[in-house]
């Protein structure tokens, strides 16, 4: 389609003599967080309607998955939500385990929870940076990425890769963790404890950040549920829903943590919920360090490659929200159909609702607090 045509999808009809105009934002734009295109209908500086156009990074992962073996598909999940690739691995592996009837040893469960929580911290630190950066404070970007690199050092030592981890396997994980894993995590947590104080002093009470985010992009509780939002976006609107609590997987039912909730549903609440989640993740990690079993296998001895015919669904709570995997297994070592439900897709669906009547500069803040990852939407 030619880029100069008037984009389709606008629903509001207006008189032809109105002074409205259209702005095309993306697919290459620094604050759309990837290849997302937004068609904006403007009245002066006020947004009348936002229409998102997806598909600029649609890579046909689901079609491709049908010709790959189950295990070959695990690295493909890394490339969906690359900010927390390790959690996506967990999501797909949990679905496989239901079909393989394979158990997971205790140590593997702890490795899974610890790496997932480290991934959550890394993702929320990127959010912290991008939120500050989109408000105009480039310093936040530098700060957020500084601690994130430390998480990636740990991940690299354990999994062998910084970003695309490809680590979990049905029945456990690919390798055992190295000896200095626990001391390293402990040292990182001690460091982050101090760093978080700095961060919060920097942005949480910052007058400019408050002016730009309090009361901006309000998402009501009813809309958040109806549009299928999940994760911090849903919790910032006052809904107490976390998959780790509601439908616990792995050993999350044995860990003591709070589910942070806010009630206004504006940008500042979404920021606050994420910062509180970093603290909760740290709490979980500290408990895991206490309980981490020294002995025992890190994976099941069996290495199955096939699933029993049937349909399997797993859901986990990634840093962005509810990540579901639906696998239809037939005979053979390849899935008949594999489908991913990513959390970012509904979040962009609700963007129009949140931005209508707001200013165009607020759209950037709303996008930052939704924290979408576009390849996970397009797949």
Residues 104-123 that bind other proteins (CB under 8 A): 104-106, 109
- Work out whether the CA dihedral 250, 253, 254, 257 comes out positive or negative: positive
User: Whole-angstrom Cα distance, residue 66 to residue 220?
Assistant: 39
Please identify which residue in 25, 38, 76, 288 interacts with other proteins, judged by CB under 8 A.
Answer: 76
Give yes or no for a contact between 70 and 305, defined as CB atoms under 8 angstroms apart. yes
Site for other proteins contains 202 (CB under 8 A)? no
The DSSP string of 58-120 is ---HHHHHTTS-HHHHHHHHHTTSGGGHHHHHHHHHHHHHHHHT----HHHHHHHHHHHHHHH
Stretch that binds other proteins, among 187-195, 199-207, 208-216, 225-233 (CB under 8 A): 225-233
Half-sphere exposure of 99 (CA within 13 A, CB side): 27
* 226 binding other proteins? (CB under 8 A): yes
> Using CB under 8 A, which of 44, 103, 178, 183 touches other proteins?
103
Count CB-CB contacts under 10 A for residue 59: 13
Choices 12-20, 270-278, 331-339, 364-372; region in contact with other proteins by CB under 8 A: 331-339
Binding to other proteins by residue 359, rule CB under 8 A?
no
Please list, in sequence order, all residues whose beta carbon lies within 8 angstroms of the beta carbon of residue 269, skipping any fewer than 6 positions away: 236, 237, 262, 263
197 counts as binding other proteins under rule CB under 8 A: no
The enclosing H or E element of 336 equals strand 335-341
Contacts of other proteins in 150-169 (CB under 8 A): 152, 162-164
| Shortest Å, Cβ 210 to other proteins | 25
The yes or no reply on residue 101 touching other proteins (CB under 8 A) is: yes
Q: How far is the CB of 223 from other proteins (least distance, A)?
A: 7
By CB under 8 A, name the one of 78, 277, 317, 371 that touches other proteins: 78
Pattern 7-26, binding to other proteins, x per CB under 8 A?
-xx-x---------------
179 binds other proteins (CB under 8 A): no
Establish if 194 lies at the interface with other proteins (CB under 8 A): no
Sheet holding 322-329, edge to edge: 310-317, 322-329, 335-341
> Does 184 engage in binding with other proteins (CB under 8 A)?
no
Q: Are 323 and 330 in contact (CB under 8 A)?
A: no
Gap between the Cα atoms of 14 and 375, Å rounded: 34
Query: In terms of Cα–Cα distance, which of 340, 348, 349 is closest to 367?
Result: 348
Binders of other proteins among 231-260, rule CB under 8 A?
239, 241, 246-249, 251, 253-254, 256
Site for other proteins in 279-318 (CB under 8 A): 300, 302, 304-308, 310-313, 315
Task: Yes or no: say if 294 and 319 are a contact pair by the CB < 8 Å rule.
Answer: no
Evaluate whether 140 touches 125 at the Cβ level (below 8 Å): no
Q: Which of these ranges, 179-187, 197-205, 269-277, 345-353, lies near other proteins under the rule CB under 8 A?
A: 345-353
- 62 near other proteins (CB under 8 A): yes
Count the residues of the shown chain that bind other proteins, applying the rule CB under 8 A.
95
Q: Which is nearer to other proteins, 164 or 264 (CB)?
A: 164
Shortest reach from residue 23's CB to other proteins, in Å: 15
Interface with other proteins includes 63 (CB under 8 A)? yes
> Vertex 61, ends 158 and 304: CA angle to 5°?
55
Give least dist CB 253 to other proteins, A.
Answer: 5
Question: Judged by CB, which is closer to other proteins: 168, or 268?
Answer: 168
The residues, any chain, with a CB within 8 Å of residue 183's CB and separated by 6 or more, are: none
Considering only CA atoms, which of 35, 38, 34 is closest in space to residue 25? 38
**Does 141 participate in binding other proteins (rule CB under 8 A)?**
yes
Rounded least distance, CB 194 to other proteins, Å: 16
Residue 356 touches other proteins, criterion: CB under 8 A: no
Residue 27 engages other proteins in binding (rule: CB under 8 A): yes
């Amino acid at each position: 389609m030619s880029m100069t045509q008037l984009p389709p999808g606008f629903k509001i009809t207006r008189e032809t003599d109105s002074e409205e105009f259209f702005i095309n934002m993306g697919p290459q734009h620094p604050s759309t967080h990837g290849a997302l295109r937004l068609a904006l209908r403007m009245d002066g500086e006020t947004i009348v309607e936002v229409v998102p156009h997806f598909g600029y990074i649609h890579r046909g992962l689901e079609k491709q998955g049908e010709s790959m073996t189950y295990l070959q598909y695990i690295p493909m999940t890394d490339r969906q939500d690359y900010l927390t690739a390790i959690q996506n691995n967990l999501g797909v592996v949990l679905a496989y385990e239901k079909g393989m009837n394979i158990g997971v040893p205790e140590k593997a469960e702890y490795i899974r929870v610890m790496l997932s929580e480290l991934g959550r911290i890394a993702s929320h630190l990127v959010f912290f940076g991008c939120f500050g950066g989109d408000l105009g404070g480039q310093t936040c970007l530098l700060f957020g990425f500084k601690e994130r690199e430390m998480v990636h050092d740990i991940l690299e030592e354990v999994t062998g890769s910084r970003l695309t981890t490809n680590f979990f396997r049905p029945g456990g994980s690919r390798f055992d963790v190295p000896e200095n894993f626990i001391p390293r995590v402990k040292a990182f947590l001690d460091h982050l404890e101090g760093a978080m104080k700095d961060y919060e002093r920097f942005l949480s009470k910052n007058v400019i950040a408050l002016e730009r985010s309090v009361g901006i992009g309000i998402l009501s509780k009813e809309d958040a549920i109806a549009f299928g939002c999940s994760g911090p976006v849903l919790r910032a609107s006052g809904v107490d829903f976390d998959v780790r609590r509601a439908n616990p997987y792995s050993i999350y039912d044995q860990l003591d943590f709070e589910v942070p909730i806010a009630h206004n549903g504006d940008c500042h609440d979404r920021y606050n919920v994420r910062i509180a989640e970093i603290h909760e993740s740290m709490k979980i990690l500290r408990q895991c360090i206490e309980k981490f079993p020294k002995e025992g296998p890190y994976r099941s001895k069996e290495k199955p490659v096939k699933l029993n015919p049937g349909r399997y669904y797993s859901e986990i709570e990634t840093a962005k929200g509810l990540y579901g995997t639906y696998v239809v297994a037939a005979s053979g070592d390849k899935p008949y159909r594999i489908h991913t439900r990513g959390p970012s897709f509904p979040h962009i669906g609700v963007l129009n609702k949140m931005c209508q009547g707001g200013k165009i500069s607020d759209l950037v803040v709303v996008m930052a607090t939704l924290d979408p990852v576009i390849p996970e939407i397009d797949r």
